[in-house]
Structure 1
Amino acid sequence: MNKYLFKIKYIVLATFVSLTSCVNDDLADVGDLVDITGPTPFYNVTDITTSEFDCSDVELEANYEFNFQAGSNLAVNGIYYEWKISPSEGVSLINKDLPILEKSIEGELASVVGLEDAISKLEFKLPCTVDPAKAAVIEAQIADLEAQLETAKANLTDETLQNVSNLENQIATLPAATLQDKELIVSFPGPGEYTVGLTVTDNLGKSDYIEKTVTVNQVVPTIPIPEIGEPGFDDGTLFDGTGDGRDSWRAPSSSKWGSVFQINTKSELGVLPDGYQAAKFPSDGTRVGYQEIEVTPGATYVLTYFSELDTNNLGEVTVSIISPNATTLEEAKLEANIIASRTDSSVGRVDDVFKKHAITFEAGEYETVIILLTNSGTECRLDAFDITVKQ
């Protein structure tokens, strides 16, 4: 048996030698394959447009900028890039490193930039503040922040100033962006459709082309987030530092809407969802919360809040978004005046445990809506109201 295995081993070896001898580097196109794979281009694009509007939604500035990043298939490295933009009139190119360096400067000057931003936001609100008392408070806040800003500038260290100077020098010496850059920022002159093509060429001279239509949309004002007065029901949280936690929630007429709710106070933070106080509604249901807030017609909002109900009695608490057409509590109960509503029962709840809820509603044609808080059957508490714009 061993003799036969020995013969088979040599037969296999001889066959392998015979096959490999067929590969001859002296023969053209034998044994070597030419790489005929070319680059497959692609690119990613990110809209980084910025805009600024005044408080009357008048456009002050718009920068229609898009970040473009080129690439190719992993098997072949594209080393030459050529962008093509049509129409090209008014289009300008920005070095991709410019925003990075500008952000680095902001980081070095974080204390100064933070104060400048706070001042800018207040100055933005001031021209459209019709309440003289609110305007006076804003002006005082601006004056205080400006004094803090001067102090912050004076306290900048030599090291920080040198770092800023170095970054500014890097910006000054940045090479101009070109259509041959792998990554660049394109600034378009305005809204419209643009054809952006990319040719990728590898080191063997092989190339391919791809193009896409990039839509530049007209900038629109950011929908402002409505302000809810005393959302956590704590003392001293009105715009001027006053308030007993309920002043923003008093109805125009207690005879038509009911008396304002009571206040529940805790001495330690963390017991209530927010701060030291919460709105308290006795079980008889005679207390209400009423606040009219400004909204943007056509916008959709999400209102969130926390509730806690006494489980010793069967009852419920209701938070409603009511049309400003309602002038009494009875009218607020009419289906035609209820924009959105949520009712939570004491069944299944745990005493002293707050639960978070959310109500999504559309402003429709209204410029203001009423947040209405009511209860029945059992004592309950509400706290930590917040509202956001649904994107």
Structure 2
Amino acid sequence: MKKYLFNIKYIVLGTFVALASCVSDDLADVGDLEDFTGPTPFYSVTDVTSSEFDCNDVELWAKYEFNFQAGSNLAVNGTQYQWAVTPFDGVTLINKDLPILQQSIEAELATVVALQDEIDKIEFKIPCETNPAKVDALEAEVAALQGQLDAAVANLSDETLQNVANLEAQIAALPPATLEDQELIFSFPGPGDYTVALTVTDNLGKSDTTEKIITVNQAVPTIPVPEIAEASFEDNSLFDGTGDGRDSWRVPSNDDWSPKGGGTTVIQINTDTNPVDAPNLPDGVQAAKFPSDGARVAYQEIEVTPGATYVLTYFSAFEETTFGEMTVSILTPNTSSFAEAQLEANIIASRTDTNVGRVDNVFKKHAITFDAGENESVIIFATNSGVEARLDAFDITVKQ
């Protein structure tokens, strides 16, 4: 029986070999099937629009640029790409390698670019600054940075200058982008809807087309990050190098804002005496201290952009002798007293933390998210009760 099975095995194997021998690339039309698979085109798009506005939110310029990259299901057959944009008037094409080479130049000149960016940021603020003392301080800062910039340019090595020259030569030699490029950048003339079609053709002449509507949105100003003065309660941290860490946190009126109805409300300062490599505080060497009697408060009005959403973060710490709590609130700018600060109508957002489960004098980070609504400014207000408490390292970001 085993002998017969062995023979059958080899008969089947021989049959497969015989069939395979009939398939030969040397014999036309024998064993070959025509490839009916045509291309299935697709493309990805990335918005790389850039713009600049002045401090009054007036648009200075906008570049509505989108990076397009074509693809298809064909991995072997050669393909040709053909883009079409409707409407095409005013659309310009940019070689995909141009931004890469420009970024390479910036990398070579990293120190110079960083200093120039810092100067640009400060000069952006000056025209809209109404405080003469701040203008003077900003202009002095620009002058100091300009000196550093001049020195940085003068110290550029011959190697760096040659690398930059080589990159600039590569930019000059870039071929113009065409509608047949697999990847390119479209620069649109302005906001609107554009139909972008891609036709892919393989080396057998088969083709297919896909298209999408690309919506180019109007450029809008970047929402500025509000400034919190003396955010970490450090000495000499005001714009002009002065301040005792508390100056920006004083209430407009002690009598109106005192939780006790009168007396001083100025926060105290707690100084970290630990070495630099083992600090107790989240930032710097000073924190705001609120005695256990609850008589001291922190108050600061900051500018915000109407309609924007913000995240305010800060750190708190407590003593553990008895129950205590700390409340940080965001108030409407029309709030004019401690009593009004307790009214729900004046509270945009609020957070109360207690010392339950906390470790004595160990700081913990908190966050408050709030909407500016129609307000152009809001008040950060902090008050405590029960035990001595501390606050430190306020920060604010725009929620995207």
Task: Give the shorter-chain TM-score range.
Answer: over 0.9
1:226 paired to 2:223: no
> Hey, what does 1:201 align to over in structure 2?
201
Question: How high is the sequence identity, in percent, across the aligned residues?
Answer: 71
RMSD of the TM alignment (CA)?
1.8
Give CA deviations for 1:170-218 in whole Å, capped at 9, x if unaligned. 1111111100111111100000000000011122222111100000000
The CA distance in 1 between the partners of 2:158 and 2:20, in whole Å, is: 73
Give the secondary structure class of the aligned counterpart of 2:136.
Answer: helix
The CA distance in 2 between the partners of 1:174 and 1:19, in whole Å, is: 55
The CA distance in 1 between the partners of 2:17 and 2:189, in whole Å, is: 70
Residues 186 and 6 of structure 1: CA distance in aligned 2, closer, same or farther (over 3 Å): closer
The CA distance in 2 between the partners of 1:380 and 1:389, in whole Å, is: 28
Output aligned runs, 1:93-132, within 5 Å: 93-132=93-132
C-alpha contact (below 8 Å) 1:38/1:76 kept by paired residues? no
Residues 303 and 10 of structure 1: CA distance in aligned 2, closer, same or farther (over 3 Å): closer
Give the secondary structure class of the aligned counterpart of 1:275.
Answer: coil
> Hey, what does 2:262 align to over in structure 1?
none
Give CA deviations for 1:66-96 in whole Å, capped at 9, x if unaligned. 1111111154545211100110000000111
Give the secondary structure class of the aligned counterpart of 2:43.
Answer: strand
> Hey, what does 1:172 align to over in structure 2?
172
Deviation at 1:4, TM superposition (A): 3.5
Unaligned runs of 5+ in 2: 259-264
1:285 paired to 2:291: no
The letter for the 2-side match of 1:195 is T
1:359 paired to 2:346: no
2:393 to 377, 380, 384: 384
Q: Which stretch of the first structure deviates more once superposed, 304-313 or 209-218?
A: 304-313
Residues 65 and 8 of structure 1: CA distance in aligned 2, closer, same or farther (over 3 Å): closer
The CA distance in 2 between the partners of 1:242 and 1:300, in whole Å, is: 31
C-alpha contact (below 8 Å) 2:327/2:382 kept by paired residues? yes
Q: Which stretch of the first structure deviates more once superposed, 23-32 or 370-379?
A: 23-32
1:51 paired to 2:54: no
Give CA deviations for 1:40-62 in whole Å, capped at 9, x if unaligned. 11111011101000001111000
Deviation at 1:12, TM superposition (A): 3.4
Give CA deviations for 1:298-319 in whole Å, capped at 9, x if unaligned. 1111000111111221010000
The CA distance in 2 between the partners of 1:105 and 1:146, in whole Å, is: 20
C-alpha contact (below 8 Å) 1:37/1:76 kept by paired residues? no
C-alpha contact (below 8 Å) 1:318/1:344 kept by paired residues? yes
Deviation at 1:8, TM superposition (A): 3.4
The CA distance in 2 between the partners of 1:71 and 1:2, in whole Å, is: 57
Q: Which stretch of the first structure deviates more once superposed, 40-49 or 1-10?
A: 1-10
Q: Which stretch of the first structure deviates more once superposed, 198-207 or 332-341?
A: 198-207
The CA distance in 1 between the partners of 2:184 and 2:25, in whole Å, is: 46
C-alpha contact (below 8 Å) 1:39/1:77 kept by paired residues? no
> Hey, what does 2:270 align to over in structure 1?
264
Deviation at 1:105, TM superposition (A): 1.2
How many residues matched? 391
The CA distance in 1 between the partners of 2:107 and 2:24, in whole Å, is: 64
The CA distance in 2 between the partners of 1:105 and 1:228, in whole Å, is: 35
Output aligned runs, 1:288-303, within 5 Å: 288-303=297-312
> Hey, what does 2:379 align to over in structure 1?
370
> Hey, what does 2:36 align to over in structure 1?
36
1:185 paired to 2:185: yes
Q: Which stretch of the first structure deviates more once superposed, 16-25 or 94-103?
A: 16-25
Give the secondary structure class of the aligned counterpart of 1:33.
Answer: coil
The CA distance in 2 between the partners of 1:372 and 1:111, in whole Å, is: 40
Give the secondary structure class of the aligned counterpart of 1:260.
Answer: coil
Q: TM-score, normalised by structure 1?
A: 0.95
The CA distance in 2 between the partners of 1:23 and 1:94, in whole Å, is: 49
The CA distance in 2 between the partners of 1:154 and 1:316, in whole Å, is: 56
Unaligned runs of 5+ in 1: none
C-alpha contact (below 8 Å) 1:308/1:380 kept by paired residues? yes
Give the secondary structure class of the aligned counterpart of 2:163.
Answer: helix
> Hey, what does 2:62 align to over in structure 1?
62
Deviation at 1:249, TM superposition (A): 0.3
